[in-house]
Amino acid sequence: MVALLFPGQGSQFVGMGRDLADRFPVARATFEEADATLGLALSRLMWEGPEADLTATSNAQPAILAHSVAVLRVLRERNADTFDYAAGHSLGEFSAYVAAGSLAFDDALRTVRRRGELMLAAGQARPGTMAALLGLEDAVVDRVCRDASAADGVVVPANYNAPAQVVISGDVAAVERALELARQAGARKVIPLKVSGAFHSPLMEGAVPGLRDQLEAVVLQAPAFPVVSNVTAEPVRDAESARQLLLRQLTSPVRWTDSMRMLVGAGVDRFLEPGPGTVLAGLLKRVSRDVDTRSLGTAAEIEAWTV
């Protein structure tokens, strides 16, 4: 069985997708569609930068989605389109629903653009931060976050990315306390992250009403194949569950490790990562080394895999 894994925010880079547009007409058409849908030169920003503008949440999210969908369309044009599951890391879950036919590309673009704007505004209204903790078990990170939360701030696990690799998120004071507690607990490394807000935490509550309105304004259909939810690490097979879980995702942790274990346990033995970067392939190898994993973000990678 084959599963698609779609990358999330942070995988963007200046130059992303340009070789796809040069090599594949369907990819170029995808980027042109994204530009027209959003009414901005997204593809030029992807290819030329500046990096600071591309990294902005409201730009990075549609850029990554457009790149992923461009790759997906190339794969389908080359008859590589038999998929059994899909999953996406945070933003990538929207790409997964596009792949499964649940969400139209233009609606997805507008939704993730709005999602990025709302997340930025929530981060400005209640500033927070995030940090990666390496070398601690999930249960230890959970305890660290509980112990570090206090009246002046809360911190929670935001991304369970791989065994012994968890990102935490919350108010600045609470995250700083958590970093010290993590060091005391034996963390191999603590890495503060440069972010515009405390994503996947209660600090994103301000973005919920706006995203709810946006999700209610678009058509969602039952996915043609199951999409694994970040929130539950379980397959989603109906439209209403997809809508509710995409909303809950804003303030809930990304259960990526459990999602990958679920897919491997279901019998998936081939994983494709359509979109920029190779982060998800690397994380999956920390869950299981017995599966075939391919990152397909460049023209060369696609051609090498589909010949």
- Per-residue pLDDT reduced to its tens digit, 267-283: 999 999 999 999 999 99
Give me Rg for the CA atoms of the chain. Answer: 18
**Shortest CA distance to 250 belongs to which of 121, 60, 164?**
121
- Whether 288 is catalytic: no
Per DSSP, the residues of 274-287 read: ESS-SHHHHHHHHH
Please compute the mean of the pLDDT values over residues 219-229 and round it to a whole number.
98
| CATH 3.40.366.10 residue spans of the chain | 2-123+203-306
Q: Where are the alpha helices (DSSP H) in 17-104?
A: 18-23, 25-38, 42-48, 51-55, 57-77, 92-99
- Whether 90 is catalytic: yes
CATH architecture of the domain covering 2-123+203-306: 3-Layer(aba) Sandwich (3.40)
- Per-residue pLDDT reduced to its tens digit, 66-102: 999 999 999 999 887 789 999 999 999 999 999 999 9
pTM for this entry: 0.96
Calculate the CA 166 to chain-centre distance.
Answer: 15
| CATH 3.30.70.250 residue spans of the chain | 128-196
The domain defined by 128-196 folds into Alpha-Beta Plaits (3.30.70)
What does the chain come to in residues?
307
Interatomic CA distance for residues 243 and 239, integer angstroms: 6
Question: Under a CB-based contact definition with an 8 Å cutoff, are residues 13 and 67 in contact?
Answer: no
Torsion of CA 253, 279, 50, 299, to 10 degrees: -130
Choosing from 11, 149, 200, 295, the catalytic residue is 200
Choosing from 90, 169, 196, 252, the catalytic residue is 90
- Per-residue pLDDT reduced to its tens digit, 171-216: 999 999 999 999 999 999 999 998 989 999 999 999 999 999 999 9
**Shortest CA distance to 211 belongs to which of 111, 120, 281, 133?**
111
